[in-house]
């Protein structure tokens, strides 16, 4: 398997999916408004807690277990592990769904706005379907079926957008936020159906999960706890943060709007690198798991270093653009100046956020789920403290400050553990050169923006800024050997046989076979 080709294909799918999701966020922000988007975000964040409990730790754990069976050529174990994961996901999700519907009245009091409760119970209909789909997707991941994994994810996004836009445009009798939630459920059903059919077409079968249930559950538990805590933290913040803003003097509507700006406008921009980094992790995690279980530390260290450098490059390439043009992005995309200011001020957060994301995936592929859980809890504690104490000082920016501190703590701890597990990583020099480029372009870009905005039209000034920054970035990346297009495309031809080899192969295949 050519890792570069596979990573590039997955990246294209992920980038397209993220672009569509980002476009949908813009549509929702314009139709629902900041307040409606805040209500939508609150319902989704609470639903995410239960989705996380039912399945979140299973896909990556199943992928690692399948990679382990592949390393030892134990094919029957793959189907057994997949069946065990499906049974666990179904048992948890169905229990949660039934319990939440039985306790609907008391549970609805969790939400300060009754509209959030209505949205949550619409989303709950899709819990079991998307939980099982997540497990099947994990089996695709472990078996290195990346094309199917990425394509079905893209189809789910397309279905959600198509259904959501259609409902919002043509249905007037139902609140818009409820229609948006219904579109999410329809997308869950579609991805589950497609994944199940593809699983059976490719020979996947449900087998008696002999010897797989307990180990899988034990291995998935730390990841599930970590991601459940993450979802719980998001849910707590969706409730606590508006309350703390109101305690600082904001009205209820203004506080919900401020949360909607951060969660529904700023974060979708700042998480743009995540789609690219997730595609790198998607391709490398099974490979890293096999290297780890085979004891190939040299290859493990090399792959880890490459993954970290690629992640640093993605984050570093975007930081100058967000720093210089962030304010314009907020106005252009959302017609909201506040979101633009927060994007520009939070651009540096891309670096620790990206490192945290890739290093956590790598460590989980090596069986370090308990350690990554501890790192997460440390970072989450720091974020909650910021969300509680800083709203009176920073307003909506308090949440972004907490997120930045969270990512810094997790990134630092994860890098220390990676060095212990994989050996010496070749990233220090690369980070230093990248830092020079980011700092130089950010300072020069801000000066250039100040001059252009005084003499040119708003859109023309930003168009020139984007072109100049892009060209300067490519030139500096090449000059400092951070990224070389020729070398990058040469990697795609790495596994392609030469003309002489193809001719030789054709010659021997044309010869008549002789038998002793």
Q: How many helices (H) and strands (E) does the chain have?
A: 22, 0
Encode pLDDT of 79-118 as tens digits. 888 899 999 999 999 999 999 999 998 888 878 778 888 8
Considering 67-71, 301-305, 317-321, 456-460, the range whose residues carry the highest mean pLDDT is 317-321
Percentage of the chain modeled with pLDDT above 90: 35
| Strand, coil or helix: 296 | coil
Position 486 confidence tier, pLDDT thresholds 50, 70, 90: low
412-436: pLDDT as tens digits? 999 999 999 888 888 889 999 999 9
Confidence of residue 508 (pLDDT cuts 50, 70, 90): very low
236: tokens are 């707590």
Closest C-alpha to 137, from 154, 124, 123, 120: 154
The two three-digit tokens of residue 353, written as one number: 């956020």
pLDDT at 211 over 80: no
**Would you place residue 493 in the very low, low, confident or very high pLDDT band (cuts 50, 70, 90)?**
low
Q: What is the mean pLDDT of residues 57-67?
A: 82
pLDDT of residue 97: 93
Instruction: List pLDDT tens digits, range 141-150.
Output: 778 788 888 8
Query: What is the enclosing helix (H) or strand (E) of 275?
Result: helix 272-294
pLDDT score recorded for residue 485: 55
Predicted local distance difference test score (pLDDT) of residue 489? 52
> Which DSSP state fits 495?
T
Question: What is the predicted pLDDT for the residue at 22?
Answer: 79
The mean of the pLDDT values for the chain is 84
Residue bearing the bigger pLDDT, 409 or 256: 409
Please state, in angstroms and rounded to a whole number, the distance separating the CA atoms of residues 168 and 164. 6
pLDDT in tens, 435-455: 999 999 999 999 999 999 888
Q: Give the pLDDT score at 57.
A: 79
Put residue 395 in one of left, alpha, beta given phi > 0 → left and psi -120 to 50 → alpha: left
**Token pair in block for residue 50:** 């239960």
The structure tokens 């997460």 sit at: 376
Query: How does residue 73 score in pLDDT terms, banded at 50, 70 and 90?
Result: low
Listed in sequence order, the residues at least 6 apart from 284 whose beta carbon sits closer than 8 Å to its beta carbon are: 3, 7, 303, 307, 361, 362, 365
- pLDDT surpasses 80 at 475: yes
510 or 437, which is more confident: 437
Q: What is the DSSP letter of 429?
A: H
pLDDT in tens, 272-330: 888 778 777 777 777 787 788 777 888 888 889 988 998 999 999 999 999 999 988 88
Contact 285, 60 (CB under 8 A): yes
313-351 in b/e burial notation, b at 16+ Cβ within 10 A? bbbbbbbbbbbbbbbbbbbebbebebbbbbbbbbbebbb
The predicted pLDDT at position 473 comes to: 92
Confidence of residue 488 (pLDDT cuts 50, 70, 90): low
CB 344 within 8 A of CB 326: yes
| Beta carbons of 347 and 326 less than 8 angstroms apart | yes
pLDDT at 75 (0 to 100): 67
């Amino acid at each position: 398997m050519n890792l570069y080709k596979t990573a590039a294909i997955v990246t294209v799918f992920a980038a397209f999916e993220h672009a569509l999701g980002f476009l949908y966020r813009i549509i929702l922000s314009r139709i629902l408004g900041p307040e409606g988007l805040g209500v939508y975000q609150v319902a989704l964040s609470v639903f995410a807690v239960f989705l996380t409990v039912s399945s979140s730790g299973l896909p990556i754990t199943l992928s690692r277990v399948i990679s382990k069976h592949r390393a030892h050529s134990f094919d029957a174990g793959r189907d057994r592990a997949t069946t065990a994961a499906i049974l666990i996901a179904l048992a948890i999700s169905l229990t949660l769904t039934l319990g939440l519907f039985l306790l609907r009245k008391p549970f609805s009091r969790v939400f300060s706005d009754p509209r959030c409760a209505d949205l949550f119970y619409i989303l709950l209909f899709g819990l079991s379907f998307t939980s099982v789909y997540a497990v099947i997707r994990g089996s695709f991941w472990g078996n290195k079926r990346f094309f199917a994994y990425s394509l079905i994810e893209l189809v789910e996004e397309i279905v959600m957008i198509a259904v959501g836009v259609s409902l919002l445009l043509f249905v007037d009798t139902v609140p818009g936020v409820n229609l948006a939630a219904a579109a999410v459920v329809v997308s869950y059903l579609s991805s589950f159906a497609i994944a199940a059919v593809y699983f059976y077409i490719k020979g996947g079968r449900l087998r008696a999960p002999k010897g797989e249930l307990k180990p899988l559950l034990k291995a998935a538990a730390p990841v599930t706890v970590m991601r459940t805590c993450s979802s719980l933290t998001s849910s707590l913040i969706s409730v606590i943060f508006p309350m703390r803003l109101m305690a600082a003097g904001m009205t209820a509507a203004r506080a919900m709007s401020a949360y909607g700006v951060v969660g529904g406008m700023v974060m979708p921009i700042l998480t743009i690198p995540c789609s690219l980094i997730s595609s790198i992790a998607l391709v490398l995690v099974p490979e890293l798991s096999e290297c780890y279980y085979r004891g190939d530390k040299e290859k493990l260290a090399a792959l880890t270093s490459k993954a970290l450098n690629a992640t640093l490059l993605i984050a570093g390439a975007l930081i100058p653009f967000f720093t210089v043009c962030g304010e314009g992005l907020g106005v252009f995309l959302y017609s909201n100046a506040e979101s633009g200011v927060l994007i520009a001020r939070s651009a540096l957060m891309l670096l620790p956020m990206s490192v945290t994301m890739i290093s956590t995936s790598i460590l989980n592929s090596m069986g370090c789920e308990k350690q990554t859980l501890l790192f997460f809890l440390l970072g989450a504690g720091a974020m909650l403290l910021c969300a509680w104490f800083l709203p009176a000082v920073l307003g909506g920016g308090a949440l972004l400050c907490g997120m930045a501190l969270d990512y810094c703590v997790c990134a630092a701890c994860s890098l220390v553990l990676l060095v212990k597990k994989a050996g010496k990583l070749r990233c220090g020099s690369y980070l230093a050169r990248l830092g020079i480029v980011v700092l130089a372009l950010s300072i020069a870009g801000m000066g250039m923006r100040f001059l252009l905005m005084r003499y040119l039209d708003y859109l023309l000034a930003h168009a020139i800024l984007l072109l100049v920054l892009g060209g300067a970035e490519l030139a500096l990346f090449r000059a400092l050997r951070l990224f070389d297009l020729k070398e990058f495309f040469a990697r795609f031809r790495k596994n392609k046989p030469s003309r002489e080899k193809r001719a030789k192969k054709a010659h021997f295949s044309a010869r008549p076979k002789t038998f002793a």
